Amino acid sequence: MITISPSARTLRSPFYQSTVEDGVVSFTLYNSMFLPTGFGDPEAEYWRLKNGVSIWDVAVQRQVQLKGRNAEKLAQILCPRDISKMQIGQGKYIPLCNHSGILINDPVLLKIDEDCFWFSIADSDVWSWARAINNERQLDVEISEPDAAPLAIQGPKAEDLVAEICGSWVRDLKYFWFKPFKIDEIPVLVARSGYSKQGGFEFYLLNKNLGKKLYNRIKEVGQKYDIGPGCPNLSERVESGLLSFGGDTDHSTNPFEVRLGDFVDLHLDGDIVGLSALKKIHEQGPKRHQLGAIFKNKDVSNLPIFEWMEIYHQGEPVGSLTNRTWSFQLEKTIGFALVSKKVHAGESVLIETEQGMKEAELVDLPFV
């Protein structure tokens, strides 16, 4: 058996032991932490997310805290999206970019207090990035990792379950908004969010020693909703068109190419990192766009991929397939295509797979 060797570089989540007890069979690495990727029955996990409710250890969505008098100023310098009207308790999805307008992360930004913001990050080092910009701009903001670990409750029955645990006020929470709460003596933030399109919440556990308690409490109340273990679900997230930073993006991807243009506010002024580059890219028009690809032959492999696969149209390379999965709903092999603007939804392409060239049709995202 091949295993991953322990190291102080690769952290376990406060919910690690609970997922082991729930039968986790595989992990990936994300932000130097273990992220569960399966509990042994992918199809059951998929339908549980679509029809019921599942509990996900997503502590790998690590928090980068900005605190101090200039916290909002630094957050806005880092964000090419207007955060000036955010209220305490509000979250926003942010396409973080470097000076060239290249996407370097796509966190959720949470306004914790007037002088405190958290980036809930995807898989790249926002901590060092925020420290570097903070120092260059001499803003004197304190940057740290707070004791906070997200646990997601996803699926159509999540709202009833979370309302039973926390009270019916959670039904009025708007998307990405959150509130501090205590479940028994367990301090959490309750947020309406999560990396699926099936609805749900995230509990940010605020005391890492209470991971097992929180997990058990949710499972206990979740019994009558038939809750079961899950994790960010490849089939569902691809069907739903959710971006995976680092998987579906490379070192030259800008937000406009991957359907994040609506989250960029080009009218902003001030010296915001990447903004002038983004204005230029927008003026010139991005060269690529992100579409779906549906393989025509049902017998092609639907295994996840380690590397992007070349896509051809009329003999010319036009871009890449950036992920691949079986769609339980469409009953076909699907993936995202990051391709030249010269090719469009409705057209046929050839994809260079490990089984040779396979035919696929391009479609608009989301699939479902």
Q: How far is the CB of 57 from ligand THG (least distance, A)?
A: 12
Q: 10 Å Cβ neighbour count for 305?
A: 16
Q: How far is the CB of 83 from ligand THG (least distance, A)?
A: 13
Stretch of residues binding ligand THG (CB under 6 A), selected from 43-51, 100-108, 286-294, 355-363 = 100-108
Stretch of residues binding ligand THG (CB under 6 A), selected from 134-142, 179-187, 193-201, 320-328 = 193-201
Q: How far is the CB of 290 from ligand THG (least distance, A)?
A: 12
Q: List the one residue out of 164, 162, 154, 165 whose CA is nearest residue 228.
A: 154
Strands 200-205 and 26-30: unpaired
194 binds ligand THG (CB under 6 A): yes
CA distance 343 to 348: 9
DSSP one-letter code for 209: G
195 binds ligand THG (CB under 6 A): yes
Stretch of residues binding ligand THG (CB under 6 A), selected from 105-113, 135-143, 287-295, 336-344 = 105-113
Which listed residue (64, 71, 108, 234) binds ligand THG by CB under 6 A?
108
Q: Pick between residue 139 and residue 246 the one whose CB is nearest to ligand THG.
A: 246
The sheet that has 108-113: what strands, in order across it?
91-93, 108-113, 116-120, 63-67, 142-144
Q: List the one residue out of 316, 298, 319 whose CA is nearest residue 308.
A: 319
Q: How far is the CB of 34 from ligand THG (least distance, A)?
A: 16
Q: Pick between residue 176 and residue 295 the one whose CB is nearest to ligand THG.
A: 176
Q: Which residues pair with 349 in a beta bridge?
A: 360
User: Mask of contacts with ligand THG, 43-72, x by CB under 6 A?
Assistant: ------------------x-----------
The SS3 of residue 341 is coil
Q: Give the CA distances from residue 111 to residues 64, 72, 83, 91, 349, in Å, rounded to whole numbers and listed in that order.
A: 12, 9, 9, 6, 44
Q: Pick between residue 139 and residue 186 the one whose CB is nearest to ligand THG.
A: 186
Which listed residue (47, 93, 181, 328) binds ligand THG by CB under 6 A?
93
Q: Could you write out the three-class secondary structure of 70-121?
A: CHHHHHHHHCCCCCCCCCCCCEEECCEECCCCCEEECCEEEEEECCEEEEEC
Q: How far is the CB of 198 from ligand THG (least distance, A)?
A: 11
Q: Please report, as residue ranges, which positions from 114 to 173 form the binding site for ligand THG (by CB under 6 A).
A: 120-122, 150
Which listed residue (202, 236, 239, 248) binds ligand THG by CB under 6 A?
202
The SS3 of residue 248 is coil
Residues 6 or more apart in contact with residue 91 via CB below 8 angstroms: 108, 109, 110, 111, 120, 176, 177, 178, 191, 193
Q: Pick between residue 13 and residue 193 the one whose CB is nearest to ligand THG.
A: 193
Stretch of residues binding ligand THG (CB under 6 A), selected from 106-114, 318-326, 331-339, 350-358 = 106-114
368 binds ligand THG (CB under 6 A): no
The values of phi and psi at residue 19, to 5°, are -70, -35
Q: How far is the CB of 11 from ligand THG (least distance, A)?
A: 16
# residues contacting ligand THG (CB under 6 A) = 15
Q: Pick between residue 108 and residue 349 the one whose CB is nearest to ligand THG.
A: 108
Q: Pick between residue 258 and residue 278 the one whose CB is nearest to ligand THG.
A: 258
Q: Please report, as residue ranges, which positions from 229 to 268 form the binding site for ligand THG (by CB under 6 A).
A: 242-243
Which residues in this chain contact ligand THG in the complex, by CB under 6 A?
Answer: 61, 93, 106-108, 120-122, 150, 193-195, 202, 242-243
